[in-house]
Structure formats: structure tokens, C-alpha cells
Structure 1
Amino acid sequence: MTDPSPYMPWRPLGDGPTYEREQIWLPQLAAQAISSGNPLIDGKTFIDCRIEGPAVLLPVDGCDFDACDMGYAGGDLRNLLLRPVGPQKVIGAIAFRNCTFRRCVFVAVGFTGSPAFTDNFLTVLGGKAS
């Protein structure tokens, strides 16, 4: 009998720039980007993907969410959001820049960003911005 591998049995996702009908585990996508020297996910397009956490997604700049299911909110869209306390950085979130999400489903993913982002998120999805 062989010992179980200490590594996750995930297949590499590839470099994109387009992912279509993929099941994407966000921690894996972030780890692949970081191991390639990229501190964030940049210039990618996700179409009809299932994007899974647990994770917190930070759209830094130029991200578009079109016809996406943002995930289970437990009856209150604000449950999907985390507001940063510091004015400059968010540590531990997975940052995205210039990315497009079309018809994606998010599972166990929270979202964070500037007050303008979180207010817009709630307004667009029919929640109440604070």
C-alpha cells in the first residue's frame, strides 16, 4: 500500500486567458497565479464557470459581472459582502483586475472592495446599499 499524496489532486487550470465551462477552485487559481509571479488574477474571462471557495474575491479594477449567480446569501445580499477596515489594502482576499465573468455561478465566495464597489454590488442585485 502506498502512502497518500500530501498534495491536492487538482488538475492544473492552465493560463487562460479564457476559461469556459470550467469548475474553478479560487484558492487553486490564486496559488497558480502567485507561483507564476502574479500577485493577482489579471485579464481573464470566465464564461459559464462554477467558481468555488471558500474564498473572498476582490475586484481591484476593470471587472465585469454579467448575468452571474453570486451565490447563496441566506436571504440578505449583504451576507455576501465584507467591507475592508483599512483604507489601502485587503490581506487574504484574491484580487482580480480586468476580468470578465459571464453567466458564472459562485459557490461559497464572498466579495470585498471599496465602498463604491460594495454599494454598487447591492444596488445592481436589488439589495439596499448602506
Structure 2
Amino acid sequence: MSLKQTYREKIQPKLLTDLNLSNIHEVPKVVVTRAKKAIAGFKIRQGMPIGVAVTLRGDRMYAFLERLIHLALPRIRDFRGVSDKSFDGRGNYTLGVKEQIIFPEISFDKIDAIRGMDITIVTTARNDEEGRALLREM
């Protein structure tokens, strides 16, 4: 069964009931990212799936940010705060996490490998100063 079929037939209906959603279009859609070119050192071929991306908005976004700030980030070993230099010049902030197991919802027994993730917080700020002020207040 392909990922698309699994998503439509199993994952979407389960998320509808788990998240108490009224519409199938409210379920966050996962986008598979693929390799643009082959990299022999990493055993990656062009077009091979290498990651996923999802966009969270509204209440789910705030719930995720709250879990990230209050639960996940403090669980990082030797955590000394986040870098002030990770802004992109337009007020957006990107944070790299080395282990997905910092989230309490993820059980170590249920994963096959420890993977990292990049989290990008896109704001409506026009520059880094505005974005920094917004995130500092959060």
C-alpha cells in the first residue's frame, strides 16, 4: 500500500476521530520531501523520499509551540537556551533538534532510529528585530 493510500484510508479517519475534527480538510497534510540530486556518501538517489513537512496553523500551532517551549526543549541534554542568531532576515526563526525523543509523546520503544528535525516558526514580522521581540514575549 502506498503512503498516499495509507494516509487517505487509515491516517485521515483516525485523526478525524482522535482530534475531534468535523472536516477531513482540517487534518494537517504531510508533504513528502524528495532528494533533488543523488549523494553517494549518504546512499541517496535522486527522487528518493528523505523527509516530511507539515504546516500547523491556529490552535494546533499554539499547542505545538507550547509543548515545544515548556516540555520538549527543557528535556534536551545540556540545554542552555536557543540561539539568537537563527533568524533568516525576515523575522522567521529556525530551530534544529537532534533527537525527536525530546517530545514526551514519542516512546523510545516505538521508533526504529533516532532522527532529528528542523522547526521553522514563520511570523508576519518584517525583520529580525520584530520577530525576536515577538518570540521573546511568547
The structure whose residues are more often helix, as a share, is 2
Structure with more contact order per residue of length (Cα contacts < 8 Å, sep ≥ 6): 1
Using the size of structure 1 for normalisation, the TM-score is: 0.29
Question: TM-score, structure 2 length as denominator?
Answer: 0.28
Q: Which has the larger radius of gyration?
A: 2
